[in-house]
Chain A
Amino acid sequence: MNLAVFRKTARETAPLLVILTAAILAFETLFVIAVREFAEQIADVWQRIELVRLIIQMLIGADRLADLTPTTLTIIGLAHPLLYALTWTLLLTTCTRVIAGEIDRGTADLLLTLPISRVAIYVAVSAVWLVCGVVLSLAPLVGIWVGRSLVPLTVPIELEPLWIPTVNLFALYLAIGGAVLLISSLVSRRGKAVAIVLAGLLASFLLNFLAQFWSPAERMSFLGLLHYYRPLLCVQTGEWPLGDIAALVGIAACCWLAGLWWFARRDIPAA
């Protein structure tokens, strides 16, 4: 890894990371407050309106209305589209900046003619991506902790079971990031890389939604990354979803290695 490239990439990513982490913290804190204020209404809407039930089921990966507690209600905040949007913003920005982005801007001509191997550049960018992932994945848990401290509930939110979806969320972050790095290595236009990844994520989201009520989609749902993130299930059972985490980490590793292999060999066209 080249420290100069790591520091430069980290400096460029830091402002966005701070903004997005603050947004996630604020969202989760507000969500805990909402759970206290509107727990009954949320549970009522969840149970009564079919579409809402399907959407929540798609987001949290289970249809278990029994045993609804403040802790299980908080799970919605760990799989909310807003959380996804904030996380994916950072992933797309960071993981497309150095390969597709540098080629697109033409700065790759200078970066890749420095005495640094392409492997070292790729590893430096990946290190920034990993550090950001740890911060972003912990942010929801910290936000819930802050919310719990600010507004004590009659039945308190338990933080311990929430470590399981937090780790699962980090694995999801790794899988998506690995895919973004791979796409970024394959193309020479940043906009194209972002478009491909967004299309893939939206397809995964849609597949996950359709799988809740359409059996052909259910059979194919294993193809979508979101299939491997089911926070409610693991919180309610208290079991670590090792298969899901292994699948996500495996996808991340395969994509990351394929991206590295391709980047180390590809031609770098002029901008």
Chain B
Amino acid sequence: MTSDVLRVAAPRVPSSNRGMDALVTHDLCKSYGPHEVLHKVNLRVPSGCLFGFLGPNGAGKTTAIRVLLGLLRASAGAAQVLGRDVWSEGPALRADVGYLPGEVRLYDHLTGRATLAFMDAARGGGAAKEVRRLVARLDLDLGKRVRNYSRGMKQKLGLIQALMHRPELLILDEPTIALDPLVRQTLFEELRCVAAEGRTVFFSSHTLGEVEKLCDMVAILREGRLIAQERIEVLRARAVRHVEIVFAAGGASAGPLPPGLQVLQQTEDRIAATWTGPIETLLSWLGGRAVQDLTIAPPDLEDLFMTYYQAGKLEPRP
């Protein structure tokens, strides 16, 4: 059994789910000649979930998304979105999917209004009210031609077209690029509302911070392989915490240290270390000692993700 399969744990389905997975892939592969971009990717995204799809640049995130949307044909394996096969039932399933590409390219000669009118008409209409709401929320001038839009405005227009038909599944590829912090905040609020309604958000990014802030679950892709798929809190539990313990005189050197404690610096009465594992174990160990002061930092996912991202290793550091 390969190590990537070992790392992928079946995620728990959030309480807001609608009884099925929004997105499932089974041994999904995509190759260009001898070059394999995706290797046996097994993804499972429960409905109603805010799902983060993480990976360094070139990991294969965009290729995976393009396969899920029927833009690319899988070389092997299967993918289902909202219970439908992505290739043979593409048009029908895309009625319930909203998509924002990594680099939004729109029709330059059209105005923002004409762009949305075309998208709405092509989808069968009925999105006018939602468009008005989203335009007001994201504060976008629809009267200008797209060629006169800034990058941020194009991104907003791309977001509106992805959201305007209230899709069951929203696939966003690096959506926060070019957005200022205020708009980013608005977008996150909007996405939380989407998930609260039981709809699903598939959020691709290479930035841990925004995924950690927004998502319930995360999958990590590296070199075309899925190396982890967990709920954020499970990852947090696995992540290291920086701790600093001040003992009564000489207490730091008394007795053996618990296995999860990696000492960074030690004096007679002070230990600076990282802790990996359940916090109860550390507290229980400290309970039998004379502790004068204790500082435990929140879990540092950055360290864990850096380990995942490092090339040449498929297993994270313990």
Contacts and interface: CB of A to CB of B under 8 A. Distances in A.
A25 to B, nearest CB: 26
A66 interface: no
Contact of B118 (A4, A113, A120, A267): A4
Contact of B106 (A4, A110, A265): A110
A267 B72 CA distance: 5
Contacts of B106: 107, 110
Contact of B105 (A114, A116, A271): A271
A119 B66 CA distance: 19
A109 B105 contact: yes
Contact of A114 (B102, B107, B119): B119
Contacts of B107: 107
A267 B95 contact: no
Interface in A148-204: none
Interface in B105-127: 105-107, 109, 118-119, 121-124
Contacts of A110: 99, 101, 105-106, 119, 158, 161
Interface stretch (B86-94, B181-189, B243-251): B86-94
A8 B118 contact: yes
A270 B62 contact: yes
Nearest to A111: B122
A87 to B, nearest CB: 24
Nearest to B73: A267
B71 A114 contact: no
B212 to A, nearest CB: 27
Contacts, number: 68
A113 B161 CA distance: 11
Contact of A115 (B62, B73, B94, B118): B94
B144 to A, nearest CB: 18
A262 B121 CA distance: 27
B134 interface: no
Contacts of B118: 4, 8
Contacts of A242: none
A268 interface: yes
A150 B103 CA distance: 56
A131 interface: no
A106 B103 contact: yes
Contacts of B62: 270
- Contact residues on A (Cβ < 8 Å of other chain), bracket: 20 to 34
Interface string A255-271: 00000000001011011
Contacts of B161: 110
Given A107-B107, A271-B105, A113 B121 contact: no
B121 A3 contact: yes
A232 interface: no
Contacts of B66: 268, 270
A116 B120 CA distance: 12
B127 to A, nearest CB: 12
A233 interface: no
B260 interface: no
A143 to B, nearest CB: 30
Given A4-B118, A107-B106, A109-B101, A114 B73 contact: no
Which residue among A3, A4, A120 has the maximum number of chain B CB atoms within 10 Å of its CB? A4
Nearest to B171: A113
A107 B122 contact: no
Which residue among A5, A108, A115, A271 has the maximum number of chain B CB atoms within 10 Å of its CB? A115
Contacts of A113: 69-71, 94, 97, 99
A120 B71 CA distance: 15
A267 B71 contact: yes
A69 interface: no
A4 to B, nearest CB: 4
A117 B107 CA distance: 20
Interface in B44-73: 62, 66, 69-73
A8 B107 CA distance: 11
Contacts of B124: 115
Contacts of B122: 2, 4-5, 114-116
Contacts of B95: 115
Interface in A108-133: 108-110, 112-117, 120
A115 B91 contact: yes
A105 interface: yes
Contact of B121 (A4, A107, A267, A268): A4
B53 to A, nearest CB: 16
B67 to A, nearest CB: 9
Contacts of B90: 117
Interface in A57-113: 105-110, 112-113
Sorted from nearest, which 3 A-B pairs have the closest CB atoms? Answer: A106-B105, A4-B121, A115-B95
Given A107-B105, A112-B69, A112-B71, 9 more contacts: A5-B122, A7-B121, A113-B99, A114-B94, A115-B92, A115-B122, A115-B123, A267-B71, A270-B102
10 contacts: A3-B121, A5-B122, A106-B101, A107-B105, A110-B106, A113-B94, A113-B97, A265-B73, A267-B72, A271-B105
